[in-house]
Amino acid sequence: MARHDPIIPGKTIGILGGGQLGRMFAIAARRMGYRVHALDPSPDCPTGQVADVEWNARYDDVETALKFARAVDVVTFEFENIPYETLQRVAEVVPVHPAPLVLDTTRHRLREKTFLQTHGFPVAPFRAVQSVDDLGAALAQLGTPSILKTATFGYDGKGQTRLDDAAQCDAAWRSLGQPMGVLEGFVRFSCELSVIVARARTGEVVTFPVAENAHTRHILDVTVVPARVPAATATAAVELAVAVAKALDLVGVLAVELFWSDDGSATGKLLVNELAPRPHNSGHFSIDACITSQFEQQLRAVCGLPLGDVELVRPVAMANLLGDEWAAGEPRWERALAIPDVKLHLYGKTEARPGRKMGHLTAMGATVDEAERKVRAARAALTASDARMDAAPKGGVT
């Protein structure tokens, strides 16, 4: 098989990373007749539970990564913190999509923001900081409030500190715990949007419907689709996301997170917040509500197959299930599933910890507002008292 021939069902897909994104990707791949190998440091990881073969090794164990690569036909990833050197060596053996350079650009906040700014994409003002003196100078330029973020290993709000006064600089720099950070000017926005873009080797591009995201404690809480923004805003968001994917020369799936401010103009103001060159939490709705899910689309893209139709079947809402839901014991799944149009997805994680993503619920409705009410009611029902459930309207708590 030539290196650029389509990788057809029956071949073997390798995925670096063993979390829930890899698990859902592996399910999509196996449904289409592929075999799946997963590499992750932890035995019995969520991806490994559904893969054909689970490899357990550190991501910087290049020798094991090369053996893994020789056993598969193409490699992708579900996790940003794979060392660039590992991906480069793997790419010498087998195709890797997205390319290692795409991951290296997007996994580092300063490189990512510099890339976006250099290519003319709108971003919040930012400064690189490598010392407490740098931080003080940057804060004087950007003003308060500003957000200090780690350059690497930051997600779900981890590694972020808000500065409202220059007197906080010393403590904020000490808490960073890294030799480099990025200070970003604070953005007052109306809502956060995200666009999932798939791009094939041929340059074919398909975008999922624009999602509207609400966060709690810096963690995605609820996503509704389609986003409740003007049509012109949704069009502009899609055009911006596609342009970013093309600038990266992406092959695979990319999530583009955007801040939207309703400034009274036709489209409002859009700023790119973050990029993720993989399926994204805000795209989970696509499993139940689109003809082709983001995970099947990733599979099609990395295998050189035509991209799928992503038409939204019905308005939909997704709610994350964090480990907090287990605080009083096993959630009452039967209550959530008694609500019409609710779907449950659990990730196979054995330990529930506060803030840890354990699964999600989706619900569909005639409108996005109805879908959101259903999914919030379903999640609330998981931990509601019996008395509260008895008093609730039929179909769940409100």
Q: Domains of the chain: which residue ranges?
A: 12-96, 125-185, 191-391
Q: What CATH number is given for 125-185 in this structure?
A: 3.30.1490.20
* pLDDT for position 272: 98
**305 secondary structure, DSSP code:** P
pLDDT digits (tens, 9 = 90+) for 159-198: 789 999 999 999 999 988 888 999 999 999 999 999 999 9
Which amino acid belongs to residue 257?
E
pLDDT band for position 317 (50/70/90)?
very high
Backbone angles phi, psi at 294, to 5 degrees: -65, -30
- Which two three-digit tokens encode residue 339? 């609500």
- Which two three-digit tokens encode residue 282? 């805000």
Q: Residue 316 and residue 157: Cα distance in Å, rounded?
A: 25
Longest dimension (CA), the chain: 64
Contact 250, 207 (CB under 8 A): no
309-328 mean pLDDT: 97
* pLDDT for position 99: 97
- Which two three-digit tokens encode residue 361? 């619920």
CB atoms within 10 A of CB 151: 22
Residue 130 vs residues 105, 141, 181, 184: alpha-carbon distances, Å: 19, 16, 6, 14
Q: Residue 38 and residue 274: Cα distance in Å, rounded?
A: 26
* pLDDT for position 210: 98
Q: Residue 27 and residue 172: Cα distance in Å, rounded?
A: 42
Give the residue among 274, 238, 269 at the shortest CA–CA distance from 256: 274
DSSP readout, 47-72?
TTTTSSEEEE--TT-HHHHHHHHHT-
Contact 343, 376 (CB under 8 A): no
Half-sphere exposure in the Cβ direction for 302 (13 Å, CA): 32
Q: Residue 398 and residue 236: Cα distance in Å, rounded?
A: 35
pLDDT digits (tens, 9 = 90+) for 18-29: 999 999 999 999
Give the residue among 175, 187, 186, 179 at the shortest CA–CA distance from 134: 179
Output the average pLDDT for the chain: 94
pTM, full prediction: 0.93
Q: Residue 263 and residue 269: Cα distance in Å, rounded?
A: 7
Q: Residue 75 and residue 72: Cα distance in Å, rounded?
A: 7
Reply yes or no on whether the pLDDT at 2 is more than 60.
no
Q: What CATH number is given for 12-96 in this structure?
A: 3.40.50.20
142-162 mean pLDDT: 82
| Pairing of β 357-364 and β 316-322 | antiparallel
Reply yes or no on whether the pLDDT at 1 is more than 80.
no
Question: Are the folds of 12-96 and 125-185 the same?
Answer: no
**pLDDT above 90 as % of the chain:** 88
Contact 10, 347 (CB under 8 A): no
- Which two three-digit tokens encode residue 155? 């997600």
72-87 mean pLDDT: 95
- To 5 degrees, how large is the angle CA 167–CA 168–CA 170? 95
Domain 191-391 has CATH 3.30.470.20: yes
* pLDDT for position 160: 85
